[in-house]
């Protein structure tokens, strides 16, 4: 039998949480928050993708309910890799980057637009008619340029037209952006989701960029979890990059944070997206749970 909980104690704890969150809710009301979701964060801490997706959707809907304007950017690298494996498509890599030929691009589009994007939209819309799925090719949101001829249809962000995103936000809707962009001729490219999130946050002059990853935050020693820092300026972060403290998959995330904040976003946050309700804990509590990058 579970021990009885004093309802007065529980009430005080709930009230304390609400009081702590209130000034942040007021501060961020009617402000754009770009959230990058995908990759390993999709699986959650226990590998239950559906539960992690449902919890994330709840966070997003709560942000919108209290007056914030969330914009979701998602990747899906592991899901693309898994689909390529199931279809028996062998990938070629150049300097660790997957070459995206026409067949691979078609599979990437199928996974990002047909699976990950639609799953996110559906999970959010359980709570009401709120989410709208977009590709970066829609309304010329993302104009892509080829990253390197050897990589095929892997692109980078040439320019961002935020018109469609701002229109959706103004209507109280939540844009969910898959990171497929198109060049001036209409040729589509797969673009790194971290890069897109940083570019979109800067173009929107977002109040926040939230980067969900699979570590607790930024470490001064990438091999030592005890060196995770809670706050860092862009100048300090560039020093860490120069000293080799940022490695592997954290590199594009850090570059996205720097691009966003130096481009006009209020702040960027790196946090473990596998933690349930990580976005709320970071935005609405005094201590937060990740690393905040400030100007």
Q: CA 127 to CA 175: how far, in whole Å?
A: 15
Confidence at residue 206, expressed as pLDDT on a 0 to 100 scale: 98
Confidence at residue 248, expressed as pLDDT on a 0 to 100 scale: 84
Report helix angle 193-204 to 163-170, nearest 10.
70
Q: CA 202 to CA 12: how far, in whole Å?
A: 40
Q: CA 119 to CA 97: how far, in whole Å?
A: 26
Confidence at residue 192, expressed as pLDDT on a 0 to 100 scale: 93
Report helix angle 250-262 to 193-204, nearest 10.
10
Q: CA 252 to CA 249: how far, in whole Å?
A: 6
Between the alpha carbon of residue 268 and those of residues 69, 202, 231, 291, the distances in Å are 16, 10, 10, 8
Q: Which pTM was predicted?
A: 0.92
Residues with pLDDT less than 70, the chain = 1-11, 39-48, 96
Confidence at residue 222, expressed as pLDDT on a 0 to 100 scale: 84
3-state secondary structure of 177: strand
Pairing of strands 93-94, 97-98: antiparallel
Q: Write out the H or E segment, with its range, that includes residue 81.
A: helix 77-86
Q: Which CATH class is domain 28-294?
A: alpha beta
Confidence at residue 74, expressed as pLDDT on a 0 to 100 scale: 95
Which residues have a Cβ under 8 Å from the Cβ of 239 and sit 6 or more positions away? none
3-state secondary structure of 155: strand
Confidence at residue 39, expressed as pLDDT on a 0 to 100 scale: 62
Considering only CA atoms, which of 72, 44, 62 is closest in space to residue 276?
Answer: 44
Domain map of the chain by residue range?
A: 28-294
| Residue owning tokens 């800067």 | 202
Confidence at residue 1, expressed as pLDDT on a 0 to 100 scale: 39
Confidence at residue 2, expressed as pLDDT on a 0 to 100 scale: 44
Q: How many residues belong to the chain?
A: 295
Q: CA 127 to CA 205: how far, in whole Å?
A: 28
């Amino acid at each position: 039998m579970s021990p009885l909980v004093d309802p007065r104690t529980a009430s005080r704890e709930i009230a304390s949480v609400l009081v702590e969150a209130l000034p942040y809710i007021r501060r961020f009301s009617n402000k754009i928050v770009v959230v990058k979701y995908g990759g390993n964060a999709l699986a959650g801490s226990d590998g239950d993708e559906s539960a992690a997706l449902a919890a994330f959707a709840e966070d997003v809907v709560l942000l919108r309910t209290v007056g914030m304007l969330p914009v979701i950017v998602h990747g899906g690298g592991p899901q693309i890799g898994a689909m390529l494996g199931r279809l028996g498509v062998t990938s070629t890599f150049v300097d660790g980057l997957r070459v995206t030929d026409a067949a691979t691009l078609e599979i990437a589009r199928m996974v990002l637009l047909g699976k990950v994007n639609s799953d996110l939209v559906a999970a959010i819309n359980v709570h009401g008619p709120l989410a709208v799925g977009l590709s970066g090719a829609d309304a010329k949101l993302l104009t892509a340029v080829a990253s390197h001829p050897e990589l095929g249809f892997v692109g980078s962000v040439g320019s961002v037209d935020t018109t469609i995103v701002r229109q959706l936000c103004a209507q109280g809707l939540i844009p969910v952006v898959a990171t497929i962009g198109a060049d001036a001729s209409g040729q589509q490219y797969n673009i790194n989701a971290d890069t897109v999130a940083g570019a979109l946050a800067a173009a929107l002059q977002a109040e926040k960029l939230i980067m969900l990853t699979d570590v607790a935050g930024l470490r001064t020693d990438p091999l030592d979890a005890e060196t995770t820092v809670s706050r860092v300026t862009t100048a300090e972060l560039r020093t860490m990059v120069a000293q080799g403290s940022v490695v592997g998959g954290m590199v594009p995330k850090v570059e996205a944070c720097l691009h966003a904040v130096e481009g006009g976003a209020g702040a960027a946050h790196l946090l473990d997206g596998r933690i349930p309700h990580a976005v709320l804990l970071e935005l609405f509590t005094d201590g937060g749970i990740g690393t905040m990058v400030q100007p």
